[in-house]
Amino acid sequence: METLLTEGRLLFVAPTGGGKSLVFQLPGLLLSGTTIVVCPLVSLMKDQVASLVRKGISATYLAATVDPEEQRQRTANLVRGVYEFLYVAPERLSSPRFRALARDLECPLLAVDEAHCISEWGHDFRPDYLEIGAFVRTICPPKVIAVTATATPRVQDEIVERLGMGADTTRIVRGFARPNLSLRVRKIRDRAGRIRAVDAELARVFGDGSADRSGPQAAGAAVIYAPTRRLAEEEAVRISALGKWRCLAYHAGLPSDVRDRVQDAFCGGEIDVVVATNAFGMGIDRSDVRLVIHLGPPGSIESYYQEVGRGGRDGDPADGLLLLGPEEVALRRRFAEGSGSKETSEPKDSSEPKEPTTSNGPNRSTTSTGPIEPPGSTEPVGAERRRALFHELMKWAMGRSCRHAGILRYFGETGDALTPCGQCDVCEASGGFGGRGGGRSRRLVRWLGGLVPRSRRNLS
């Protein structure tokens, strides 16, 4: 906060639960005018605004989901300077009407939440985030902060460049370590193997459960990520039918009121397990998630770490289990190659998290770490990016080095941070010393079935 207030430009990278919102909210209260916060999700905006209002802070958000009359009232209040905070989705920044409104506001601070979405090499690239740089030039706020939980050095470079923050912008990286998470990867053969693994894990963490609980469960909750909506619904029905754990499904294909009810029930402790696509997670305010299971691989290490990082936000131990089955790996591989089922990822709108998306437009700039599109490539940058990110995830999943050390190395950590954690599956199998590292590269390339172009296979 001191750096932001004195220097005016800051990139802040901190793990989930690391106080990123506080770092721009408290300075926003100290400064005169209306702080504008760019946020990718309507649900996240609603939660942030509701939290501020409960504290007696004047805040609002503008989104297409707001009733037109209510939007007019909120806009009028903005002009009158009523609000200390305004949350908006990046899609709104391209509106000439909103830009004109913003120019007339006294905006002392612009905060960009989930800033990794601005990078084509980030795991949740959002083309609309590319409008933020032009918006900054339009309103010229005295102070700008970009915050994110997952950004490699390359992504950090791109965030700073695309926001026009200046090469000398201070970067405060609080590290990516989550030592309270126990990470494991398990291969499964088929649906039956997946079911056995899920049920055994739920029983191990929560016991036999009880279907007639009336209050929040002291043992915490579980999030199960499914690669498709269909599997999310099927698995939720199956778990509910066991009569042991209260379980519901969540995905972007459900009506908004149903999604709201599921989210409220989960955050309020009324259900024990939610089976969801990647549409669930950002802004979920429940700190006692004890278990995160992935029924298939996500698209990148960033996606995985952000999702599994929703476990143990209270600092107590939590478990993460990634299941690798042939069908799920093949499905994600097809998506990485640009030929996957539409059901693999969620719709690209301002109310749900996004999978990586292809950019074929002119936004192929160069960062200090190299070109966004590899020289001589004839493929869309999105396809190249998806393949590279997925390959890094699978290389990590199939590797023999400490799970935590491998992730921290990917995010650019060095030194003591890479000490074996002693509690992941690899460390446990090797007596707590984190394994030998590498070791399965050739087998991995064969198993991916030619996913990585021959010219790029030296990555392994």
Question: What is the model's pLDDT at position 146?
Answer: 97
How many Cα atoms within 13 Å fall on the side-chain side of residue 250? 26
**Phi and psi dihedrals of 424, rounded to 5?**
-80, 175
pLDDT tens-digit series, residues 222-263: 999 999 999 999 999 999 999 999 999 999 899 988 988 998
- Let me know: does 185 contact 403? Beta carbons within 8 Å: yes
How many helices (H) and strands (E) would you count in the chain? 16, 15
CATH 3.40.50.300 residue window(s) in the chain: 2-173, 181-324
Cα(409)–Cα(425) distance, rounded to whole angstroms?
A: 18
Q: Encoding tokens for residue 34?
A: 């209306």
Q: Smallest Cα–Cα separation from 25: which of 89, 113, 116?
A: 113
Cα(413)–Cα(421) distance, rounded to whole angstroms?
A: 14
Q: Smallest Cα–Cα separation from 162: which of 175, 172, 151, 173?
A: 151
Q: Encoding tokens for residue 106?
A: 């006294």
Residue with tokens 């955050």, as numbered in its chain = 267
- Under DSSP, is residue 63 helix (H, G, I), strand (E, B) or coil? coil
User: Cα separations (Å) of 444 from 193, 329, 344, 394, 450?
Assistant: 22, 12, 23, 8, 10
∠ at Cα 316 (310, 320), nearest 5°?
45
- Let me know: does 449 contact 387? Beta carbons within 8 Å: no
Four-CA torsion 217, 15, 332, 248, nearest 10 degrees: 20
Q: What is the DSSP letter of 56?
A: T
Question: Which architecture, in CATH terms, is 181-324?
Answer: 3-Layer(aba) Sandwich (3.40)
Q: Smallest Cα–Cα separation from 394: which of 347, 448, 431?
A: 448
Cα(97)–Cα(104) distance, rounded to whole angstroms?
A: 11
Q: Beta-carbon neighbour count of residue 278 at 10 Å?
A: 25
Cα(453)–Cα(432) distance, rounded to whole angstroms?
A: 35
pLDDT band at 432 (very low <50, low <70, confident <90, very high): low
pLDDT tens-digit series, residues 127-176: 889 889 999 999 999 999 999 988 889 899 999 999 999 999 999 998 78
Residue with tokens 């000490």, as numbered in its chain = 419
- Under DSSP, is residue 282 helix (H, G, I), strand (E, B) or coil? coil
- Let me know: does 136 contact 144? Beta carbons within 8 Å: yes
pTM over 0.85: no
pLDDT tens-digit series, residues 93-105: 989 999 999 999 9
Residue 417's identity, in one-letter code, is A
How many Cα atoms within 13 Å fall on the side-chain side of residue 134? 14
Residue 447 pLDDT > 60: no
The listed range with the strongest mean pLDDT (238-242, 276-280, 406-410) is 238-242
- The CATH number for 2-173, chosen from 1.10.1740.10, 3.30.70.240, 3.40.50.300, 3.40.50.12280, is 3.40.50.300
Arithmetic mean of pLDDT over the chain: 82
